[in-house]
Every structure is written in C-alpha cells, then in structure tokens.
Amino acid sequence: MANLKELRSRIKSVSSTMQITSAMKMVSASKLSKAQDAIQSMRPYSEKLTELLGALNASVGANVSNSLTKQREINKVLVVSISSNRGLAGAFNSNIVKASKKLVSEELADKQVDFFTIGKKANDILSKEFSIFENNVKIFDDLVFDKASDITERLMDLYTSETYDQILLVYNQFKNAATQVVVTEQLLPIQSSEVDSQADTDYIFEPSKVQIIEDLLPKSLKVQFYKALRDSVASEHGARMTAMHKATDNATQLRDALKLSYNKARQAAITNEILEIVGGAEALNA
C-alpha cells in the first residue's frame, strides 16, 4: 500500500485535474450553445435552397449544362477532411481520420487521392500517409461565411479546371451534445436531387429558370460547405463537453477511492502507533 505522503500527493493531483476538466466542460457547454443555435438556424435555409434547386432541375430537365454538374470519369479525387485544431474531444478527430482512411482504402482504392485538411488534428495524422494538397487551420479562428466562400471558390476552380474529377467532404454532423455522426458527402460534381414530379412548382421566374439555376449552383455549394463547417464546430464542442464530463466523473471516482485508501492507511498507522505505545508500557511494567 502506498504511504500517506504518496496518497496525499495523488489526491491533490487528481483534484487539480478534476477542476481543469470541470472548467473545460463549462466552457465547451457555453460555446456549444452558440454553435448549436448557428447550425440549427442555418439548416432550414440550406434545405430549402436544395429543394428549390431540385424542383428547378426537374422542371428544366436537360436544358441546363453547367461545368459544376458535368460528370466525367473519376481518376483524381480530392477529399476535404474537416477536423479541429484542438484535442481533448473524445473520438471527434480520430473518427474523421478513420473515416478518411477507410474511404481511401475501400471506395477510392483505385483512384489517385489527395487531401485538403481543415483543422490541425487530421492533418497531423493524414500527412504521414497521404498527399496533402493544402491545410487550413485559421478558418476556425473566426468562422464566417466569407471565409468558407473563398475556400469553396477554390474548390470549384480545382474541379472546373479538371485538376480533380471529384471532391468529397468528410466531417462530423451534429445531432446533439452526445451524438456526432461522421458523414461523407459529394461536393462536386453537383448531384441532381430527387424531387416529386407532382410537386407544385407554379412559380414565376425572372429572368428564367435556367439563369436562376446558373446563379444558384455556386451559392448552393458555398452554403453546403459552410454548413459542414458549422456542423463540425458544433460537434466539436459537444464532443468535448461530453468527454470532459466523463473525465470529471472518472476523476471524482478516483479521488474518492484514493481518499478511502488514505483514510484506511492513516487508521492503520494510528493503530500501529497505539500498539507500539501499549507494548512499550507493558515492557516497562514487566
């Protein structure tokens, strides 16, 4: 059994750790509230935009030919893996790395694959095994639509210039504070949405349906990419809050167990001292 000094040192260390994890949990909970509001307020707009594009595509049929929707033989693929710059978030980052590696080894096994990493953590691991086209770690310092729009425009240029034949997103989709789902989405080429052919699309379009589609396609991509970033941010804070909550609970249990061991050891030491005193007194009386 560890001596009393060692136990006191371990109790102090665990208590300090517990204070840190508890503080991190509170900070993440505060940030999660804002991130959750941001993604939940954005989803209806994104879904309605997708619905509108689907309805327009269905109504104009093959009259629309756009470089962003053009399908071609897939040889070179760019995978955009979205992680975070910080750890201590449970399996948040490792799940992105695992999903990215699985995507390359299975679905893209016969393709030339490069990575565009968003966030430091995925880049640190993926760069050891794969070709990294670019890494961006600054976007999360101040995540706004304009910054996401700039990256999306670069991705569109890479596709339209035929540098890559397909661009995929891998990110954590936010469900709730305790649940994040790793999602793989195709960003480019834009896929046609399935819509109800009987849906009511009795609208007046100016200047024309085709022109509206041409204008909305780039905007739709920017919104899709920005939503993925917002999903990832909310998922990160949720994952970190959950991880820190579990860490605090584990630290509390360990501290209580150490205190129990300390009290037992102290009681045993006191008992031994009493026995020594009683033994010494009896020896003097003998």
- Averaged pLDDT, 62-76: 76
pTM of the model: 0.83
Q: Where are the domains positioned within the chain?
A: 25-193+212-242
Taking CA 69 as the corner, what is the angle to CA 64 and CA 72, rounded to the nearest 5 degrees? 120
Please enumerate in sequence order all residues whose Cβ is within 8 A of that of 234, keeping only pairs 6 or more positions apart, or say none.
Answer: 32, 35, 36, 38, 39, 174
12 has pLDDT over 80: yes
232 has pLDDT over 70: yes
Domain 25-193+212-242: CATH superfamily, name plus number: ATP synthase, F1 complex, gamma subunit (3.40.1380.10)
Q: How far apart are CA 151 and CA 114, in angstroms?
A: 16
- The tens digit of pLDDT for each residue in 95-147 reads 999 999 999 999 888 889 999 999 999 999 999 999 999 999 999 888 899 99
Model pLDDT, residue 195: 41
Model pLDDT, residue 142: 87
| Of 94, 32, 39, residue with least CA distance to 245 | 32
